[in-house]
């Protein structure tokens, strides 16, 4: 899945940097055929999102999280069941998630980096957009197993919509976040850098 997103990302990269007609009008390019600040932020967010989605898959959250756990012998165990609180069950859940600790720690670091990118985007653009709120919410819930799955699905849906619009409509790479921002509007706090 991440490989597919990476392929779409790399195919769109020239389009984002200089625009479809070469004048820099697509994706925030500045017309100088180089990487401007807006494009750099976009690329940083996309790269971080792809990496975070991949880490979510590697972290084992689909098998074990705060709501369900795949056991070695009896299928799935759910938090609503009495055996979930059994000391033996707790011990084995902890043993089974040990191999995923590295990926889960990396996921925590990526969450913090995502928060820095959202704050930097708000500060540099001078605007507060609904998509910033959505991204902060997704960052907040991504600290949990189920939340990281939801945040990963949101990222894939958001970028997938952009890719679909790019290939099958005249809207360019217009994501769900872009549509929400366009329909709801944004609050301009001051004149931003981009």
Q: What is the pLDDT along the chain (194 residues), one digit of tens a residue?
A: 555 545 555 555 444 444 444 433 444 444 445 567 888 888 888 899 899 999 988 999 988 999 998 888 888 989 999 888 889 888 988 888 899 999 999 999 999 999 999 999 999 999 999 999 999 999 999 988 999 999 999 999 999 999 999 999 988 899 999 999 999 999 999 998 87
Q: What is the pTM of this model?
A: 0.73
Please report whether residue 194 resides in a domain: no
Domain of 138, in residue numbers: 2-188
Residue 26's pLDDT is what? 43
In a domain, 122, yes or no: yes
For residues 178 and 158, give the distance between their C-alpha atoms in angstroms, rounded to a whole number. 9
The answer to whether residue 130 is domain-embedded is yes
Query: How many C-beta atoms surround the C-beta of residue 56 within 10 A?
Result: 26
Pairing of strands 68-70, 76-78: antiparallel
Reported in sequence order, the residue ranges of 58-143 that DSSP labels E, i.e. its strands, are: 68-70, 76-78, 127-128
Note the pLDDT of residue 16: 45
* Res 6: pLDDT: 52
Q: Is residue 133 part of a domain?
A: yes
Q: What pLDDT, on the 0 to 100 scale, is given for residue 14?
A: 47
Residue 193, domain member (yes or no): no
Supply 194's token pair.
């981009």
Residue 179 lies in a domain: yes
Does a structural domain hold residue 183? yes
In a domain? residue 165: yes
The residue length of the chain stands at 194
For the chain, what is the domain count? Answer: 1
């Amino acid at each position: 899945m991440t490989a597919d997103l990476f392929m779409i990302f790399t195919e769109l990269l020239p389009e984002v940097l200089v625009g479809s007609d070469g004048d820099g009008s697509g994706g925030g390019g500045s017309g100088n055929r180089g990487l401007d600040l807006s494009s750099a932020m976009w690329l940083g967010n996309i790269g971080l999102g792809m990496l975070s989605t991949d880490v979510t898959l590697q972290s084992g959250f689909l098998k074990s999280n705060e709501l369900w756990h795949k056991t070695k012998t009896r299928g799935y165990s759910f938090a609503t069941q009495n055996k979930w609180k059994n000391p033996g069950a707790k011990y084995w859940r902890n043993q089974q998630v040990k191999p995923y600790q590295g990926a889960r720690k990396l996921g925590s670091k990526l969450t913090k980096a995502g928060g820095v990118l959202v704050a930097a985007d708000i500060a540099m653009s001078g605007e507060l957009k609904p998509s910033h709120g959505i991204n902060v919410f997704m960052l907040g819930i991504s600290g949990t197993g189920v939340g990281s799955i939801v945040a990963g699905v949101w990222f894939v849906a958001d970028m997938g919509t952009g890719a679909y619009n790019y290939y099958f409509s005249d809207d360019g790479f217009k994501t769900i976040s872009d549509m929400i921002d366009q329909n709801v509007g944004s609050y301009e706090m001051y004149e931003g850098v981009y």
